[in-house]
Amino acid sequence: MGIKLPVPEKLLAISQKPTALFETRCSVEEAVELWEASSDDLRRLRVILGSKFEEALKNSSIDIKRELDEVERVSKLVAAKLEEVENG
């Protein structure tokens, strides 16, 4: 007939090699999962920041300085997480 069929051992070896496309897909999926986790963290930090700010505005006590310091601290966390999400 003239048609040469591949040797079964070669077919098995080829089927066991990971492909570049599969590796790229896995890499992209990992990056998406990391970005989503960072994005969720950022969302949570923004909610915390908003509540801390509202709490500071409601309290007109002597503790306002401490509360504003806490708002500033959480604000810095939000800024750092945002930078991480944008660069990651």
pLDDT in tens, 11-46: 555 555 566 666 777 787 888 888 888 888 888 888
Rounded-to-integer distance, Cα 9 and Cα 5, Å: 12
* Other residues' Cβ atoms within 10 Å of the Cβ of residue 79: 13
Whether 15 maps to a domain, the answer reads no
**What local confidence, expressed as pLDDT, does residue 8 receive?**
58
Whether 7 maps to a domain, the answer reads no
Please check whether residue 88 is in contact with residue 34, taking contact to mean a CB–CB distance below 8 angstroms. yes
Whether 59 maps to a domain, the answer reads yes
Please check whether residue 67 is in contact with residue 56, taking contact to mean a CB–CB distance below 8 angstroms. yes
Q: Give the CA count within 13 Å in the CB-facing half-sphere of 34.
A: 11
Whether 31 maps to a domain, the answer reads yes
Whether 5 maps to a domain, the answer reads no
Whether 58 maps to a domain, the answer reads yes
Whether 53 maps to a domain, the answer reads yes
Q: How many domains does the chain have?
A: 1
Please check whether residue 44 is in contact with residue 78, taking contact to mean a CB–CB distance below 8 angstroms. no
pTM of the predicted structure, to 2 decimals: 0.46
Which domain range does residue 79 map to? Answer: 22-87
